[in-house]
């Protein structure tokens, strides 16, 4: 056994360990986090607390599920926050005008029409998604303000409506938002991982030109990712509206970047072609548990921003470093 092979062996082993960390880095970080906070406060891992965290993450989570599709196909969606404000305001307004049973489908249709418009612009007209959705962020905000006349929207009869069940109800002790979020995650997860459409989304994001040459209708796939995203936004809007039964025009403002943070934390590359629904759920939960854990140990809510910053950079850095095989960037 020469010295060289031993060196080789240890180098291989080190590489394998690095690869293991890189592939499951986000899960390992999650586990470390959970253990740390549980040791700091025994209430952290109690069922009540965990359900509470998932419940409060459900709105952000629903949107993040849809944005995962968009990001995997190699695009961005910055309009989701302003779109959620729109759907929340619309459903609250229609609730009193045409009743909740009609208001919900109408709101879904209107929100998904906006998603289809974005999908058309990005998919069929091939416009840059960052700028299109930036423009739509502003335009939809304008639309919401026009619709509501700038006023806050409230449901007249807050006690007597069954509409509150989506945001506040429980079934067998499980909060309804949690059930909705988990169900949506399961359906979309299977949809992305197990269907032909899901594979096409990865193909379009991984290499758009190659996808086109293999006969994948790139424009239609991109179009559909935005429709899915807007469906998820409508669901989040429903949860938000039902939870508070009243809303400001700016309820979703700034949410788009939090959602992206969750998706990126889950390991999806902004260049497209990678990411899964499961990992996005982990990303969402990490953000939720960070907030909760820091609050439980007695820190202010804004400490989470700084912690999230560090975690995002570290997570993506590890990912990038594992792909190129060295820690530091080779750029001179």
Partner 1 sequence: MKNENIKLFMAKGAIWGFIILELIFFSVAGEFFSLSDKAFMDWDNMLLLFKQSAPIGIIALGMTIIMINGNIDLSVGATFALCAVVMLDSMTWPIFAGLGNWVIPIAWALALITGMVLGLINGLIVWKTGVDAFIVTLGSMLGFRGLVFMYNGENPTSHLNWTLVDMAEADILGVETPTIIFVVCTLLIWLLMTRTVHGRNAYAVGDNREAAVNAGIRVGPHMVWNFVLIGFLAALSSVVFYSSSGSVNPNDGTLYELWVITAVVLGGTKLVGGSGSVISTFGGVIAIQLLRKGLGHIGADTAMVNLVIGLILIAVLFLDQQLNRKGKEELKV
Distances in Å between the Cα of 296 and the Cα atoms of 54, 178, 234, 284 are 15, 21, 31, 18
Q: How far is the CB of 186 from partner 1 (least distance, A)?
A: 28
The answer to whether the beta carbons of residues 260 and 67 sit under 8 Å apart is: yes
Q: How many CB atoms lie within 10 A of CB 99?
A: 12
Footprint of partner 1 on 41-80 (CB under 8 A)? 78
Decide: is 120 part of the binding site for partner 1 (CB under 8 A).
no
- Strand-pairing partners, residue 170, are 175
Q: Which stretch binds partner 1 (CB under 8 A): 33-41, 138-146, 155-163, 275-283?
A: 138-146
Site size toward partner 1 (CB under 8 A) is 53
Token pair for residue 188? 């979309």
Closest CA to 283 of 323, 321, 311: 311
Tell me which of 51, 134, 174, 295 binds partner 1, using CB under 8 A. 134
Helix 80-98 with 218-244: angle, nearest 10 deg: 60
130 or 296: CB nearest partner 1: 130
Binding mask 206-245 for partner 1 (x = CB under 8 A): ----------------------------------------
Whose Cβ is closer to partner 1: residue 284's or residue 312's? 312
The dihedral sign for the CA sequence 98, 100, 102, 107: positive
Instruction: Write down the least CB distance from residue 6 to partner 1, Å.
Output: 31
* 8 A C-beta contact, residue 260 and residue 66: no
Which parts of 258-277 interact with partner 1 (CB under 8 A)?
A: 260-261, 264, 270-271
Are residues 240 and 251 in contact, defined by beta-carbon separation less than 8 angstroms? yes
Binding residues for partner 1 restricted to 287-306, rule: CB under 8 A: 300, 302-306
Site for partner 1 contains 141 (CB under 8 A)? yes
CB burial string 296-311: b at 16+ within 10 A, e below: beeeeeeebeebbeeb
What Rg value do the Cα atoms of the chain yield, rounded?
22
For the record, the structure tokens of 146 come out as 């026009």
Query: Is residue 83 within the footprint of partner 1 (CB under 8 A)?
Result: no
Residue (238 or 318) nearer to partner 1, CB? 318
Residue 132: closest CA among 63, 83, 190 = 83
Picking from 135, 59, 63, 69, the residue whose alpha carbon sits closest to that of residue 277 is 69
Cα 164 versus chain centre, distance = 23
Contact between 28 and partner 1 by CB under 8 A: the answer reads no
Which one of the spans 24-32, 44-52, 162-170, 253-261 is the region binding partner 1 (CB under 8 A)?
253-261
Q: How far is the CB of 258 from partner 1 (least distance, A)?
A: 8
According to CB under 8 A, which one of 145, 174, 219, 296 is a site residue for partner 1? 145
Identified binder of partner 1 from the candidate list 11, 142, 152, 187, rule CB under 8 A? 142
State the Cα–Cα distance between residues 160 and 157, nearest whole angstrom.
Answer: 6
CB 320, min distance to partner 1, A: 6
Give ∠ CA 179-184-187 in degrees, rounded to 5.
Answer: 125
Query: Which lies closer to partner 1 via its Cβ, residue 178 or residue 282?
Result: 282
User: Per CB under 8 A, does 151 bind partner 1?
Assistant: no
What is the binding site for partner 1 (CB under 8 A)? 78, 121, 125-128, 130-132, 134-146, 150, 253-254, 257, 260-261, 264, 270-271, 300, 302-310, 312-313, 316-317, 320-321, 324, 328-332
């Amino acid at each position: 056994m020469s010295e060289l092979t031993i060196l080789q062996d240890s180098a291989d082993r080190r590489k394998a360990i690095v690869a293991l960390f890189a592939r499951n880095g986000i899960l390992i970080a999650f586990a470390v986090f959970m253990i740390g906070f549980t040791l700091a406060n025994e209430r952290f891992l109690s069922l009540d607390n965990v359900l509470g965290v998932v419940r409060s993450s459900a709105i952000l989570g629903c949107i993040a599920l849809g944005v995962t599709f968009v990001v995997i196909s190699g695009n961005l969606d910055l309009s989701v926050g302003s779109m959620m404000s729109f759907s929340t305001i619309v459903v609250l307004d229609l609730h009193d005008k045409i009743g909740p049973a009609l208001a919900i489908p109408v709101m879904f249709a209107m929100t998904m029409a906006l998603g289809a418009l974005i999908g058309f612009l990005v998919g069929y007209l091939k416009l840059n998604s960052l700028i299109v959705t930036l423009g739509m962020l502003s335009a939809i905000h304008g639309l919401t303000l026009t619709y509501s006349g700038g006023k806050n929207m409230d449901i007249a009869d807050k006690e007597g409506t069954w509409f509150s069940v989506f945001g506040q109800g429980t079934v067998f002790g499980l909060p309804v938002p949690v059930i909705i979020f988990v169900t949506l995650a399961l359906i979309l997860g299977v949809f992305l991982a197990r269907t032909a459409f899901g594979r096409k989304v990865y193909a379009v994001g991984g290499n758009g030109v190659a996808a086109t040459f293999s006969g994948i209708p790139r424009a239609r796939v991109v179009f559909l990712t935005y429709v899915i995203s807007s469906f998820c936004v409508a669901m989040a809007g429903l949860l938000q509206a039902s939870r508070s039964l009243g809303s400001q025009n700016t309820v979703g403002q700034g949410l788009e970047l939090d959602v992206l943070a969750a998706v990126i934390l889950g390991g999806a590359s902004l260049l497209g072609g990678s990411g899964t629904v499961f990992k996005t759920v982990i990303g969402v939960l990490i953000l939720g548990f960070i907030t909760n854990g820091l609050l439980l140990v007695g820190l202010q809510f804004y400490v989470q921003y700084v912690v999230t910053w560090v975690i995002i950079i570290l997570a993506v850095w590890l990912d990038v470093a594992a792909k190129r095989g060295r820690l530091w960037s080779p750029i001179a």
